[in-house]
Structure 1
Amino acid sequence: MFHHVKELQFNARVSKPDVRFAKLLLEQFGGPNGELKAAMQYFVQAFGCRKKAPDKFDMLMDIATEEFSHLEIVGATIQMLLTGVNGELKNAADESDLTKMLDGQAAKENYIHDAMVNPQFFLVSGGTPTLTDSVGNPWSASYIMGMGDLTADLRLNIGAETSAKMVYENLMNFTDDVYVKESLRFLMTREVAHFQMFQAALDSIQPNFPPGVLQGDPRFSNKYFNMSKGEDFKGPWNEGKSPLMGEEWQFVDDPHKRVRETNGLMDEKATGTDRTEKSVQTANKKVSASKKEKADKATAPKNGVMSWSVYQDKK
């Protein structure tokens, strides 16, 4: 269940109206990297691990709920930045308060131009925050990413927090309002915190690589194909040991030649690794059986009934 507390998580404030920045801030209200996207992504992902990983379910639900709190902060800030706009949209006088608020006639004309670019925000909604990005594209469930595998979902979430953090960082460059910057800095910092939470949760799952069940083909898991001509660069991505599997990177300097020599890589040999096709198939069966056992045990009906919540008998 959800319970709404009529206070913001952070004391959001603005010093004066700013229609232009309110429009930019819509990016974090209804955009692809915004707070609604994050809230819905973590909320949906949580369902898949309610029984199998109740600790991760708890974390995902907590963070999802906090993201709704952040959506409220963004929406409240947008509304404060539009102070006076709702009424003045109905005032056509050139010397209206809207003109003064926007620092002159030229600014008001720019505002009218912006309204034509994004009429849903300025005209249809009357200044109320809409579930769109900053240029008026409607929010879409296609923003939500989830694979049904916890290790994959946590990695997706780390990427989502990274993108959101960068958007807030960029937004801070477009306002001089110290109060608005305080709110943006808080929201940006919470993205950093969530990044670490998801990383810690991922690290607590062992093994967590590769995501899913099936292991990689040992012939290709440590091959680096040099797919471009010109100056070549070496680094931990193509020399030394691979960071997660500990295999020796094999640098293929001429991929076209290698493909022709190996019958389209069908005759490629596994080198630089202790893994073999036999060991891979053994691992596939072991991981598959282990995950199936955990899932079956977690979701098995009790006394012939499946219940999402467990209510303790206090009698």
Structure 2
Amino acid sequence: MRVLIALGGNAMTGEDGSARVEDQIAAGKVAMEAVADLLEHDIDIVLTHGNGPQVGNLLVKNEVAAAVVPPVPLDWCGAQTQATLGFVLMEALDVATAARGLYRRSAALVTRCLVDADDPGFSRPSKPIGRYLSAEEAAMLIEHGEHWEDRGEKGWRRLVASPEPRAILDAPAVRALVDAGFVVIANGGGGIPVVRGADGLRGVEAVIDKDLGAALLARTVDADVLVIATDVPNAVLRFGTPDAEPLGRVTIARLRELAEEGHFASGSMGPKVDAACRFVEEGGQYAVITDLDSIVNAVTASEEEREGTIVVPN
């Protein structure tokens, strides 16, 4: 069995959301303990991860240093965080597997994701990233070509495009490494967004949704199961109300219907639900949305005993 595990951004920060170096290392160790538990079942694993807090840190550095050095573009931020988090996860996985007497090599791959140059998102940047700034601070970054918007009392916020992921360009390398026995960490943050032009490929200022990128990577590397690991054991209907209801086994059709009814927030659970549906619609056996503590059960338990939100064909 081949499984793709998508680690949410919370899996790479402290419990309070802090992204200090020591917090990220500690969080990586926790996540890789769960992955090592799954490796004991002799399963091929591909890992991907969010990078929002890490990119956020780089953007702060951009802002602070904008008057001294040019800001680093978003595609560079994606590449840097893929490499850094890949290193952190590899180190943590080596420790976790050694403690279990396992020998599984790991590899981190800086991964590009193709998007359309004419994607509507580029003409209407809508995804807010980074912190709020004053008008004066934002003006300096606007001079460097960034798109900022006045958000009233809170200040100015940067908006970027979030185009649809079309192809994982480095998927053949991922497949080759998995076939050779490696646990591969790839496509972090949804992949480095690139477009194809007359002169070849070039990176662009955009952010790809991590969960949609994970679903595309899972299909591209022929994964059987997609596990979207988050900080809750299930997707929840009527979240935050007295009538909240954890969602268990559900068909694509029913889950799509629930999404259209507005049960899943667009900035949190919505993309996870969409990604799970896309993966199964394209031929995956099933997808799971659950927390780290439940991923072994989600992959190895019988159909009747699986925990989490289990998305199955209609």
Task: Provide the TM-score with structure 2 as the length reference.
Answer: 0.24
* Structure number with higher helix proportion: 1
| TM-score, normalised via structure 1 length | 0.24
Whichever of the two has the greater Rg, that structure is: 1
**Greater strand share, structure number:** 2
